[in-house]
Amino acid sequence: MELPDGSKEAPLADYMVSSVDFVGWDSDLSQIVEYFDAKGPKVDFAPVAGRSGEIVDVVARADVETLRGYPRLLGGGSVGPDGELMVGAAIGTRESDKVRLEPLVKAGANVVVLDSSQGNSIYQIEMIKYIKRTYPKLDLIGGNVVTMSQADNLIKAGVDGLRVGMGSGSICTTQEVCAVGRGQ
């Protein structure tokens, strides 16, 4: 990208907008609209701060306008029993993913999703059993499944939730490669 001065490189700080203004994570739509109205048309994004003041999200003016036009889309973030935003993470089914899991749990992840195009594999079932044995209170979502027997296998292994559907992603080749799949 060529910059206004014709150069092709510049420090990011020269183009960043500094802001000490933010909206709280528990702000409702009307409060966010007030924020944008007060800032004027040049401000397109609002940082969202958590209870401790750290930035946890960003709200775009365009998203707010969409929600104003389609209010049924409005929903809050997932909040846990402690009143804090819930956090999810995805891992695979390889041995190296067991190493990745510990820091995710220590950082406060509330739920882990096993990311696998075909969830009814021995690799996923073994990973489910490992996670439930190691972190029994961690919510775990397994899948993808399309049949009752696949779902039953993962439920018996210990999952708390299921991803249903297989091969429906825009770049997913599961249906072509494995000759299995069904859209959600």
Active site residues: 172
User: By the 8 A CB rule, do 50 and 85 touch?
Assistant: yes
What's the CA gap between 64 and 164, in Å, rounded?
A: 30
Q: Which residues contact 161 (CB under 8 A, 6 or more apart)?
A: 111, 139, 140, 141, 142
Angle at 93 between CA 133 and CA 91, to 5 degrees: 90
Instruction: Supply φ then ψ for residue 106, to 5 degrees.
Output: -65, -30
